[in-house]
Amino acid sequence: MKLGEVSGKSVLITGAASGMGRCLSLDLAKEGAKLILVDICGDALGNVAKEVEGLGGEAHTFCVDITSWEQVKRLAQTIHSRWGAVDVLVNCAGIAHMCHVVDTPLEDWECLLGVNIWGIIHMVKAFAPKMMKKKSGQIVNFSSGQAFFAVPTWGPYACTKYAVDGYSEALRYELYWHGIGVTTVYPGVVRTPFYACITGGTIVKLGFKLLMAIAAKPETISKMVVRAIKKNKKYVISPEMWPIYLLKRLIPWPFELAGRAIAWGLRKEKGISIAKEKET
């Protein structure tokens, strides 16, 4: 895929039914991309496809659980038999999680790791080999600003995003020699359904009200990702995350104090729930 070109290219997006995935689908449709939309929520996915078609775009939908290797493998076989190697793979699907690390049940660890890490591993394993044979393409993996600073009560979620960060870095080095670019996206707080069902006590509720007031619009991040695909950028970092990215490396001690202070403030917080909501 030549730099600057998206029109006419096949783009597969996971988590396409809502939030960031939906915004990316619409923005890439406007650019003339041929979309392959994947999500576990079939009805919502169909609605996004209608929006894409309303813009004059082309969309093909697949209801798939990306935590299942068998389902992803069948998806890849279907897509490759119809259209060959995809030009762009966007791993946008993910779930949120808010709970103290020690209190997080093992089954919730499994769910979180299954979607946020294994989902990406499955998709890359299934689709990258054909891209490598073609010697062109782009892979976009969504990490998080929490890969820069793991906020207390978000430890398990941050763990998965640190993993995506390291996975994507190694993948970028390896696939460079096959003509494939890898972009890692680090959103901060984005105004999507991601945080909708998180509950908690007074501190959590007040904190989320403040965060939502300053949260970025998903459309803003989406446009940044589209530009990154066109230019084969290594990273997409939300503007508000740049100070954290830079300062933690230069002067780490304020973040150590901030982390301890947040943990102290939330140590007795009642009603913190585990949120299993789509990140996208």
CATH number, domain containing residue 167: 3.40.50.720
- Domain-located, residue 216: yes
pLDDT score recorded for residue 278: 47
Q: Is 245 tagged catalytic?
A: no
Among 157, 167, 186, 195, the active-site one is 157
- Domain-located, residue 72: yes
Kindly tell me the sign of the dihedral angle through the C-alpha atoms of 153, 157, 161, 166. positive
User: pTM (2 decimals)?
Assistant: 0.88
Q: Quick one: tokens of 182?
A: 């890898």
Residue range 39-64: average pLDDT?
96
- Domain-located, residue 3: no
Amino acid making up residue 236: V
pLDDT digits (tens, 9 = 90+) for 73-105: 999 999 999 999 999 999 999 988 888 888 889
Structural element, H or E, at residue 205: helix 202-214
Q: How far apart are CA 186 and CA 147, in angstroms?
A: 8
Question: Residue 135 is part of which domain span?
Answer: 10-266
Residue range 174-184: average pLDDT?
97
Percent of the chain whose pLDDT exceeds 90: 63
DSSP for residue 217: P
Residue range 197-219: average pLDDT?
57
Tally the domains of the chain. Answer: 1
pLDDT score recorded for residue 213: 52
Q: Which of 14-18, 187-191, 236-240 has the highest mean pLDDT?
A: 14-18
